[in-house]
Amino acid sequence: MMNRDRLKKLAAEERFIPGIYNYCDRWCERCPQTSHCLNFSLSEEEFSDPETKDIRNKAFWNKLSGILGETMELLRESAKEWGVDLETLDSTGDIENLRLKNRAAENHLLCRAAKSYTDMAKDWFEGRETLLLETAAAAREGVSLEEAIEVIRWYQYFISAKVMRAVRGKIDEEEERFDEFPSDSDGSAKIALIAMDRSISAWAVIRHYAGDDDERVMEIIVFLDGLKQAMEKTFPNARSFIRPGFDRVDQNQ
């Protein structure tokens, strides 16, 4: 198991872009920035042994909790250096406050709509996926159909999770906002918007093969587009948020 010194040494390597994994889509297999990502290197280093590939393997979970333990220790050390007291969240008032904010975020219209999208995508694929994959194998443009399915499936829960994080962050920021820092809620909203853009494109590919179901696919696209517009209105600065490692000031999407 990686020890703390090794973790510190690895984390200090210049090739890593600080915080790059905070606003990515966690799709490491397709990520163009793996060599700059500490998160990726940590998991590669820890899990490269074929014996530990199986995520159900006991060793995997032991390693995972080992990383968590080391990371928490580092976090506590850094917190001390920054003068942050991690124990102050212990009071009942703080916990109740957190609970109220979480509930407010869960009930937010955007979060409920994003959750509905997850259910819509899930329902649509129910019973259709095998047929679609067979079509994908038979079709000449099969790869793109397969990829479209992969994209929708990857982001189907991700969108809702990121919308939730953005809304939850906004509730916090309304209480306490430090203008000199980029807003975390905008960063989460941006990656949610990118996931929506990609999912809409992927649904458009699916629609081509959907036969009689194409109306339902259109409904899903319209719904997702509505959610996207509502997010853009609620987070007007999200698109211009610069994600470390992925966006450049002059090349922002």
Positions that interact with ligand SF4 (CB under 6 A): 20-21, 24, 26-28, 31, 33-34, 37, 39-40
For the bound state, the minimum distance from the C-beta of residue 17 to ligand SF4, rounded and expressed in Å, comes to 8
For the bound state, the minimum distance from the C-beta of residue 19 to ligand SF4, rounded and expressed in Å, comes to 10
For the bound state, the minimum distance from the C-beta of residue 116 to ligand SF4, rounded and expressed in Å, comes to 26
User: Judged by CB, which is closer to ligand SF4: 40, or 117?
Assistant: 40
Question: Does residue 188 contact residue 173 with C-beta atoms inside 8 Å?
Answer: no
User: Judged by CB, which is closer to ligand SF4: 37, or 111?
Assistant: 37
In whole angstroms, give the CA distance from residue 136 to residue 146: 6
Task: Return all residues near 51 (Cβ < 8 A) that are at least 6 apart.
Answer: 57, 59
User: Judged by CB, which is closer to ligand SF4: 29, or 81?
Assistant: 29
User: Judged by CB, which is closer to ligand SF4: 44, or 129?
Assistant: 44
For the bound state, the minimum distance from the C-beta of residue 233 to ligand SF4, rounded and expressed in Å, comes to 27
Q: What is the number of alpha carbons within 13 Å of residue 231 lying toward its C-beta?
A: 34
Cα 111 versus chain centre, distance: 15
> Quick one: tokens of 106?
């869960």
Task: Return all residues near 138 (Cβ < 8 A) that are at least 6 apart.
Answer: none
For the bound state, the minimum distance from the C-beta of residue 2 to ligand SF4, rounded and expressed in Å, comes to 17
CA-based end-to-end distance of the chain: 40
User: Judged by CB, which is closer to ligand SF4: 91, or 253?
Assistant: 253
